[in-house]
A and B are shown apart, each in its own frame.
Chain A
Amino acid sequence: MIDRTALRAVALREIRTVLRTRAYLLLAIGLAVVLFGIVDRSDAVAAGYVPSTVDLLLPMELLVPLVAVAIGYRAFTGDNDDSSVLSTYPISTPTLVTGVFVGRLVGLAAILALPLVAVLVSVAWTPTVGSTVFATTDGVDSPILFVRFIVLTVFFGAVVLAMTLAVSVLTQSSKAALALGIGVFVAVVAGGDLLLIGGLATGSIDDGMLRWAIGVSPNSAYRGLVYELVIGVATAEQGYADVGTSVIGLGLWSLLGLLVTALGIKSKRRAAIAPSIKRHVR
């Protein structure tokens, strides 16, 4: 179903596209400046890894969807839409979708992770008690915890990217894709939380259900995982969210995004597989 050679070719093309797009470079620089500005103003770098995570969590909830939408919304539109030509090559829909997703994700991961790694290095260079301890023991600040934060942030970005690819393939133009991409951004950033608040207000979600319900919305699932696996480990205060539900929630959102993307591609290619078009091998 997945042809490795074609997958590699498609993924490499996407990585090169991201690397050669000046707007993405500016986006990466802008993100780095914002993140360093935040930790510098709050002296979080001097305070340690977990304080830096706490300071960066809320901004990342906004910035990660923004960057993911920027990277993904044109993946299948405008100059990147060569579906007419690609339909004459032996490349399956799963291979194409996976290749585009993996390639764009590599670009997105670099844009998100590099500034965070730079923050991690800054914390390590700034003398603090925690910066010399490589451990995850409760109550101890550790670079491992910040690495977890980076991994979770990239995971969150992957989820939003998958949803954005679906938007890209379902729209006919870059403008329409951008408009719908902004819709995804708003839905991810505010929609899930608003639904949770609404559920709590109306009583359809009670306090006991909340730690599971948090896993349903991508944004709150990400926040829940960061609390459970990074902040809570250092502060020994856990139980905010259910880790399993949050991971499954994020995974399902990714799968849904990729599935819709695949169906969109398949719909574009419906002609090539239409029963009225037949190939007779002699």
Chain B
Amino acid sequence: MNQTTGKTRSKRERTDADDRDPESDVVLETRALTKRFGTVTVLDGVTLAIPRGSVVAVIGPNGSGKSTLLRLLVGDLPPTEGSVDHYGSAVSRATGYLPQRATFRPRFTAAETLEFYGSLLEEPDVRPLLERVGLQAAAERRVEALSGGMRRLLGIAQAMIGEPPVVVLDEPASGLDPSMSRHVFETITEMAAREQSVVVSSHDVSLVESTADTVVVLSEGSVIDSGTPDAVRRQFQAEQLRDIFDQIGDEDGRVSVVGGEE
């Protein structure tokens, strides 16, 4: 089932990227995005439109294709079928990205790590980003001495360098304590307030619920629903977003949606 985000449901009627209204607030759009690894279809015909300044959360069980979708959005993987279109003014960095497994040079300090990436954009002053993610106290600590959670924060700071119009974060709160997770999602809200669009995958659905403008529910590589957190909850007749995980996937591995399509 192809879906689009709630904010742009009417705009997605257009089919040709070149015809998109110049005044449109969509900054990223996918059409029938499909990814196969050999004979295994990991993502199947995903169509999305991401508006400027919005937070789009991709949720779903493990193996539902969240990371693959995010990798396709940033161009880390080529799609088997379908397309990804970015819209906007010419910028030095179109997309910021925190991969699921971000690797940094272990013997470099957090500040040096950011300074390196900043230098590629000729943006030397990247230390404020450490402050924004709450890592200022660890600025001079080597990456190898950072905890897993702190490395995630460093990765988020890296994704923010150059203020790209689209920031894609794969499990940014993974390994973080609840307080830091909240801080990360507050940072995401701040980014959206600066007109940056954030696409985030997360298992922390309570934070997703309070932060996301749009929730995209993935199961077995397909979008089974999308919309505002309230709309998605209503669709699944769930009190909370986390309850919909119980409803995804029956014994045969098929996806069933209460009150929705099968």
The interface of chain A, by Cβ under 8 A from chain B, is 5-6, 9, 13, 16-17, 20-21, 78-82, 84-91, 270-274, 276-282
Q: A272-B75, A278-B84, A280-B85 known; A91 and B120 CB under 8 Å? A: yes
Residue from the list B86, B89, B112, B158 in contact with A278, Cβ < 8 A = B86
Residue from the list B77, B108, B120 in contact with A271, Cβ < 8 A = B77
| Interface: B88 (CB within 8 A) | yes
Q: Which residues in window 103-123 of B have CB below 8 A to A? A: 103-108, 112, 116-117, 119-122
A97 to chain B, nearest CB (A): 15
Q: Which residues in window 84-141 of B have CB below 8 A to A? A: 84-90, 92-97, 99, 102-108, 112, 116-117, 119-122
B195 to chain A, nearest CB (A): 14
Return chain B residues, CB-CB under 8 Å to A270.
Answer: 78
Contact status B77-A281, CB under 8 Å? no
Name which of B16-24, B219-227, B247-255 contacts chain A: B16-24
Could you list 15 further interchain pairs (A-B, Cβ under 8 angstroms) beyond the known A79-B103, A278-B83, A280-B18? A9-B120, A13-B105, A16-B108, A16-B112, A80-B103, A81-B103, A82-B102, A85-B99, A85-B158, A86-B120, A276-B83, A277-B78, A277-B85, A278-B86, A282-B89
The main secondary structure of chain A at its interface with chain B is: mixed
Return chain B residues, CB-CB under 8 Å to A89.
Answer: 93, 117, 120-121
Q: A9-B120, A13-B105, A280-B17 known; A271 and B22 CB under 8 Å? A: no
CA separation between A84 and B77, bound complex, in Å?
A: 9
Contact status B83-A281, CB under 8 Å? no
| Interface: B164 (CB within 8 A) | yes
| Interface: B45 (CB within 8 A) | no
Question: How many positions in chain B have a CB within 8 Å of any CB in the partner chain?
Answer: 44
Contact status B76-A90, CB under 8 Å? no
CA separation between A13 and B158, bound complex, in Å?
A: 16
CB 8 Å contact bits of B34-62 with A (1 = contact, 0 = none): 00000000000000000000000000000
Listed A/B pairs (20) with beta-carbon separation below 8 Å: A16-B108, A17-B107, A17-B108, A79-B106, A80-B105, A82-B103, A84-B99, A86-B120, A88-B164, A89-B93, A89-B120, A90-B120, A271-B72, A274-B75, A274-B79, A276-B84, A278-B86, A279-B86, A280-B18, A281-B90
Return chain B residues, CB-CB under 8 Å to A17.
Answer: 105, 107-108
B89 to chain A, nearest CB (A): 6
| Interface: B175 (CB within 8 A) | no
CA separation between A276 and B79, bound complex, in Å?
A: 7
Return chain B residues, CB-CB under 8 Å to A9.
Answer: 116, 119-120
Residue from the list B84, B103, B106, B158 in contact with A277, Cβ < 8 A = B84
Contact status B121-A88, CB under 8 Å? no
CA separation between A78 and B103, bound complex, in Å?
A: 8
